[in-house]
Amino acid sequence: MSGYFEGVLVLLAVNIVFAYGAFLPLAAGQLNLGLAGFAAIGAYAAAYASNSWAVAPTLAVLLGGLVAGVVALAVAVPVLRTRGIYLALATFAVGQIVQATILNLEIVGGAAGYPVAAFIRWPTIAAFAVVIVVIMAALFATRFGIAIRALHDDEIAADLMGLHVRAIQVAAFTIGSITAGIGGGLYAHYFSFIEAQNFNIALSITVVLYVLLGGTQSVLGPPVGAAVFTLLPELLRGSQSWRYVVFAAALIVLMTLRPQGLVTSAQLRRLFTVNRQPNEIAT
């Protein structure tokens, strides 16, 4: 595989992983604008583990996800007391604090950035992405997935039906952050160098864009959104800036035409009904 395609493929895989990190809280009706912070924690923790303790890279990535999850859990309990736009801004502040802290953390290079010695090859990264898609699809087929949807549609009704709203929200936020941390670790071990600027507010925002473009109704939304976001700018010709202009304009028009996202549950139902009854249609 040529270097260019390999790079795009890895970026696509990492973006899909990030997208699930934003998808889980969004599916439960919360906007996490601090996702880049958790991706950064995962990336730096994984890189530190493989650099300093010689942990196997794939294990280090999982460890990074775990650290991001622990931090998310500690943050979720106070932060999730706020809601709506306040929650979005609180998570935004968390992301900024993480970035600023890393800039001042000399043990991982501070503002100079942090080189990563170990390397993960592209098939492993692609496998990580596939496994995460499968896990998420399985998760959304369980009671937990149904509970998340219920919360998204009507929090008060979900509460009345006996769901533990706070616990589900904290779980969605934490699992999302673990996923983002894993994505960060994968990024660190492929590109071999990380710095705080990789994980700024722009990353949090673009990942949320993936999810809302793909749609929050279906587990298949995030990969579709991430694919459009990763591949469309690559397909466009012209200067870097023109690409972004066309891309942003396309995004605005797409959101106007399909505010519910590209993939919706009704659409999938239609698709699967056709697939399941081919005989009836044939006859």
By CB under 8 A, name the binding residues for other proteins: 26, 29, 31, 78-79, 81-90, 92-94, 96-97, 99-101, 103-104, 155-156, 201, 205, 208-209, 212-213, 216, 239, 241-242, 244-245, 247-249, 251-252, 255-256, 259-260
Residue 94 phi, psi dihedral angles, 5° rounding: -60, -45
Helices of type H across the chain: 3-27, 35-52, 57-79, 84-103, 122-139, 143-153, 155-160, 165-191, 201-214, 221-235, 240-257, 265-276, 278-282
Nearer to other proteins, 6 or 155 (CB): 155
* Nearest of 6, 30, 13 to residue 173 by alpha carbon: 30
Q: How far is the CB of 252 from other proteins (least distance, A)?
A: 5
Nearer to other proteins, 120 or 168 (CB): 168
Q: How far is the CB of 26 from other proteins (least distance, A)?
A: 7
d(CA 196, CA 9): 23
Nearer to other proteins, 251 or 268 (CB): 251
Q: How far is the CB of 69 from other proteins (least distance, A)?
A: 19
Q: How far is the CB of 139 from other proteins (least distance, A)?
A: 21
CB 214 within 8 Å of CB 26:
no
Nearer to other proteins, 118 or 211 (CB): 211
